[in-house]
A and B are shown apart, each in its own frame.
Chain A
Amino acid sequence: MKAPLSWLKDYVDIDISAEELQAKLFSCGFEVEELIEVGKDVSGVVVGEVIECEPIEGTHLHVCQVDCGDKGTFQICCGADNVKVGIKAPCALVGATVYATGKDHVTIEGVMTIKKGKLRGVESFGMLCSGVELGLNEDLYEGAGYCGLLLLPKESKNGCDVKPILGLDDYIFDIGVTANRPDCQSIFGIAREVAAVLDKKLKEPDYSYKTTQVKSDIIEISDIAPDICPRYIGHYVKDVKCAPSPRWLRKRLALCGLRSISNVVDITNFVLLELGQPMHAFDMRTLSDGKIVIRRALNNEKIVTLDGNEFELNGENLVICDGEKPCALAGIMGGLNSEIKDDTTEVLFEAAKFARDSVRKTARALGQHSDSSALFEKGVNEYTTERAMARALHLIDELKCGTVTSVHIDVKTEYSHTAEKQMTASISKINALLGIDVPSKDIVKILKNLAFGVKLDGDSLNLTVPGWREDIDGYPDIAEEIIRFYGYENINGTFLPSASITNGGFTDEQKAENKLIDCLASKGLYEISSYSFYSKKDLDMLHFPEDATERRAIRILNPISEDLSIMRTTLAPSMVNVIVRNLRRGNMSGKLFELSKVYLADKLPLTTFPDEQKRLSIGLWGKYDFFDIKGITEVVADCLNTKFEYEPCEKPFLHPGISAKILCDGTEVGYLGMIAPTVAEELALERAVYVAELDYEELKKHANAFKFTPLSKFPTVSRDLALTCDINITCAQIEKEIYAACKFVTEVKLFDVYIGEQVESGKKSMAFKITFTPNDEPIENKIDGFVKKILNNLKFKLDITLR
């Protein structure tokens, strides 16, 4: 919301600096996001009177003597065609800053500092300026659009700073207005707050106008859709003379960034800025049957808006129609067919309230946004709707651009709210909420400054809420109004003196997760956090077949881009993408993990809350191999105090010989393996990549609480066995049989595998360290018997012999 300081001064006597006002606004909840100094880039420019002016032969230049009052008289070369003795123009002295313009004298190409110069051998000590060089245009100052010198009023005092004369000393406040204060989306709305915060009187705009009696049946408003158009006011103005607007009006619009069009259109824009009520003007000639119908559009009905865009409409869109066709997209933009033209003579002014979400939905669906739709989406109040019409008609009068007739049609539907809201609040309750004691006289004063009707009756405040304050609902709102102006610095911290003691802390679930994260980080892995959404392409990347369950992903209806359009069903694509990114950035090796959710749909499209399941994803690349990642999954098993078993598996994106599913108590809980060469090639992976993914929800079920095992009094014993077996026998098979053969075996650890000349072909040698742990009695003398039993079992089950 942009508010020029000069405009605010129309309503409030502001006697502090722009910076001080900025701080005041901030304190009462209006953050000035940017304080724009209108003439920020212009400095050192004074009023100069040309007292001598001689042409420089053979050029278009003149050498002038310029009287700059107390600054001195300077010789300046000037190329402008309107330079002559006696004129007063802005004179940029040496060291001044002004805008540099292009060859066309119109395009601004930056800011320049004036230096002493020499043109055609003639010295020049400054520059006489055009309006453009000072950042002005014709709307902001008369004559500023001319590409020659900007002529200053004769009465300007030589040597004075030109900025106050040209309005370049103005400031524009770009204010962030919170969603609860649509009434402050206007200059006058901000002025109300300024008056309250400065404790000054507020001057209302002039709403008066005279009417001329005409026949009242000239226009008829009917068939109003009440739920989305609670209020509609139309007023007929005749004898319209379209012409350029006066300077003051054009300047106001220009300061707020709007282009002047013509008096009638400018009046609607001025009221929009001043009061925050969008208005519209229809050319009466184009309204067939003199009718205004406010209805939902028919399916496939079309409208061309003022900007020339054509839209196909449906029943969600509200349109303003005449007897036969849509003439405006309600609250968003007028139709080209009813546009005000230079020869328009009769106008119907519209001021209405359209429902917020109706305008929003239509503006979004059609992609058509305007200043008007932005205001309607935030919400307008009917108090202002009424005044906006009066204000526009006053301006018609003031600008003498038409005759305001007596034809005023005001449709209040059952959804209209105009009654002033009455409420009571208690001072003690307000203070109890704030936690401090604001004296009742301050409370009354603050509320009166905000235009509340206030009657104090003991502890009770009987309030009349100003018509524009639709946000005021209960006493907490009143408490907020009070503390906003009484000052938040008066809120002193207390530490719940009256509250009950509660027992806080991490839940068991979080403690378990923290333990797992700590455990993995301590083993050299980095934790990552990746987006919960990716795209179908990411599933394609890992070759998931069309019927894979991973493809049954939840889609976002309005994704930010196709790349982030489905909720992930597996963490693997995210992990692979992170690894690919690392490799591309020259990070050639690494170990990562992520504990995050996947989102699994029971039925698509979703009819109820989906299953949100935590998964643990692990990724290694570079100098690591399969057994490094397996070592990490074993760390996970240790952390949960459980054991994993591994069986070969097939996954579309893993090397079929170097991948395994992970089982825990016989239940599949995940997989690990090397990214298949086919996938690696497509991704141009320069290093081998290993990934694992574990179902954390399932794992939790198999976690065991840690319990201490008492130590035996007797020493543990270990034996190394080198075995020869068939090349296809797995380590897990052997381990299982060793454990099965003897209950004293507590650890079986493979320490060597040999395949080669020293063993028969088709066989391999595997060496294990076996640890035996005694319980109540020593076992040293029984070990030979145990080993024999183990060897017998291996021979019998797997045809394994001692090497």
Chain B
Amino acid sequence: MQDKINEIEQSIDKAVQDVKSSKTLQEIKMKFLGKTGTISALMKNMRDVPADERPKMGKLLNALREWCENKFDELENRIKNLELKKKYADEKIDVTLPGKKPEDGAIHPNTLVKRELISIFAGMGFEVFEGPEIENDYYNFTALNTPSDHPARDMQDTFYITEDLLLRTQTSAGQVRVMENKKPPIKILSPGKVYRSDDDATHSPMFTQMEGLVVDKGITLCDLKGMLDEFAKKIFGENIKTRLRPSYFPFTEPSVEVDVSCFECGGKGCRLCKGTGWIEVLGAGIVNRRVLEGCGIDPDIYSGFAFGMGVERIAMLKYGINNMKLLFEGDVRFLKQFKA
């Protein structure tokens, strides 16, 4: 019997020697361990074995069976691993091939900047008001202390539709509408398209303005400066400083031009700031008493400040856009850069 067992062991060793696939292994396993397999047959033959030898024989056969099973388990594991390795090798991909993105979309830089500006000022308590783009002479000029013979009218070449109706040259026009209907405290922001008859590398006949107006008791030039300091830090960075310098707008007195320290060079002077260390970003001032009076607000009780900036200009500065025309052309190569 022992010989028989040795023979079986050898024949198993031989049979599995070249096995490469788990399928073949399974067939061999069945041949020996299956219901009709060699070992099962031996087990069945136990009946014919004399009773006194049975325990010994049984032991031997069980050992054989155990040996077999371990052998096949081990082989199975090895082959499975090999097969898995092969599968992995076969299925390997070039992970550096491009990913399949959903199609890009993007919001226009003007909208991005407009929203950012509104969020900054909304946090300071500003409401948003959008007036009409086709305005009349009164709201666009007269109510803003710019009567018809005023030289400041030449500062803004105006598109006229009739003698009285025109394309607004500034969103301040809408602010007058607010002041006529709302009593202080007033904090409004008026974003929108404005139009001036100007077309060159740095001017566009249509552009977007964002103007702010604060009217309350005891408002000072220092408050204007304080608010614009906050604004400049939020939009251009924590280290940004602002500088006021005298200027002129008919609807403010005093009027100032507001520069921010150059965020490119930190104020040392570079190409962006033309070597001055400062970049002009907006115009502002204390609201002219006549403008308040015209809107029925008593300038002896209330005072206020106003500021206005070009959204395109901020966008150009913020993103480093070198030509204003790009903002209006709709070239997808330009637009897709703002997808983030």
Contacts and interface: CB of A to CB of B under 8 A. Distances in A.
A517 B114 CA distance: 13
Contact of A526 (B106, B122, B185, B223): B106
B195 A532 contact: yes
Interface stretch (B6-14, B40-48, B84-92, B129-137): B129-137
Given A581-B330, A581-B331, A605-B162, A495 B227 contact: yes
A152 to B, nearest CB: 36
B105 A567 contact: no
Contact of A488 (B151, B193, B256, B327): B256
B19 interface: no
A524 B103 contact: yes
Interface centre among A379, A499, A517, A524 (most CB of B within 10 A): A499
Contacts of B187: 502, 504
Contact of B220 (A377, A432, A530): A432
A156 B277 CA distance: 43
Interface string B235-272: 00000001111111010011110000000000000000
Contact of B124 (A504, A522, A523, A525): A504
Contacts of B105: 520-526, 591
B30 to A, nearest CB: 44
Interface in B176-233: 185-187, 189, 193, 195, 197-199, 205-206, 208, 214, 216-223, 225-230
B332 A526 contact: yes
Given A484-B246, A531-B205, A557 B162 contact: yes
A558 B160 contact: yes
A564 interface: yes
B154 interface: yes
Contacts of A610: 134
A197 to B, nearest CB: 11
B78 interface: no
A27 interface: yes
A315 interface: no
Contacts of B327: 529
B330 A530 contact: yes
A338 B310 CA distance: 49
B64 interface: no
B107 interface: yes
B262 to A, nearest CB: 16
A378 interface: yes
Given A480-B246, A483-B254, A556-B161, A496 B214 contact: yes
Interface stretch (A278-286, A321-329, A582-590, A697-705): A582-590
B111 A517 contact: yes
Interface string B21-55: 00000000000000000000000000000000000
B220 A434 contact: yes
A502 B126 contact: yes
A513 B300 CA distance: 40
Given A178-B248, A494-B223, A523-B105, A612 B134 contact: yes
If over half of B's interface residues share one DSSP class (helix, strand or loop), that class is named, otherwise mixed; here it is mixed
A236 interface: no
A356 B220 CA distance: 34
Nearest to A590: B332
Nearest to B246: A29
Contact of B106 (A178, A489, A521, A557): A521
Given A514-B115, A523-B105, A476 B155 contact: no
A559 B214 CA distance: 34
B307 interface: no
B328 A532 contact: no
B335 interface: yes
Contacts of A521: 105-107
B227 A507 contact: no
B168 to A, nearest CB: 11
Contacts of A434: 220-222
B94 interface: no
Interface in B61-107: 102-107
A148 B220 CA distance: 65
Contact of B133 (A31, A501, A612): A612
Given A527-B107, A606-B162, A355 B328 contact: no
A483 B221 contact: yes
Contact of B244 (A488, A504, A558): A488
Interface residues of B, number: 88
Interface string B116-144: 00100111111110001110100000000
B306 interface: no
A496 B253 contact: no
B222 A360 contact: no
Contacts of A123: none
B221 A355 contact: no
Contacts of A612: 132-134
Interface in A612-658: 612
A763 interface: no
A504 B127 contact: yes
Interface string A494-510: 11111111111111001
Given A182-B151, A488-B256, A527-B106, A493 B226 contact: yes
B149 A530 contact: no
Contact of B328 (A493, A502, A517, A530): A530
A502 B123 CA distance: 10
B108 A360 contact: no
A496 B224 CA distance: 8
A582 B330 contact: yes
A524 B223 contact: no
A197 B73 CA distance: 100
B243 A499 contact: no
Contact of A491 (B115, B185, B225): B225
B56 interface: no
A46 to B, nearest CB: 31
Interface string A710-730: 000000000000000000000
Contacts of A419: none
Contact of B336 (A356, A488, A526, A564): A526
Interface string B300-340: 00010000000000000000000000011111110110000
B288 interface: yes
B134 A435 contact: no
Contact of B329 (A179, A181, A524, A581): A581
B40 to A, nearest CB: 49
A533 interface: yes
Given A488-B243, A488-B246, A514-B115, A599 B134 contact: yes
Given A432-B220, A435-B220, A476-B289, A585 B134 contact: no
Contacts of A494: 220, 222-223, 225-226
Nearest to A484: B246
B108 A529 contact: yes
B222 A492 contact: yes
Contacts of B16: none
Interface string A552-575: 001111111000100100000000
A503 B134 contact: no
29 contacts: A178-B247, A179-B155, A356-B150, A378-B151, A474-B289, A476-B286, A477-B253, A493-B230, A495-B227, A499-B217, A499-B219, A504-B123, A504-B127, A505-B122, A506-B118, A506-B122, A514-B115, A521-B105, A524-B102, A526-B106, A528-B335, A529-B110, A557-B162, A560-B198, A581-B331, A585-B333, A587-B332, A597-B193, A609-B165
Task: Give 8 nearest A-B pairs by CB, closest first.
Answer: A435-B220, A524-B103, A435-B222, A29-B246, A493-B226, A480-B254, A178-B248, A578-B330
Interface of A: 26-29, 31, 178-182, 355-357, 360, 377-379, 432-436, 473-474, 476-477, 479-480, 483-484, 488-489, 491-507, 510, 514, 517-518, 520-533, 554-560, 564, 567, 578, 581-582, 585, 587, 590-592, 597, 599, 605-607, 609-610, 612
Given A492-B222, A599-B133, 12 more contacts: A27-B245, A179-B150, A435-B223, A477-B254, A493-B228, A494-B222, A524-B102, A524-B105, A529-B111, A533-B205, A597-B193, A612-B134
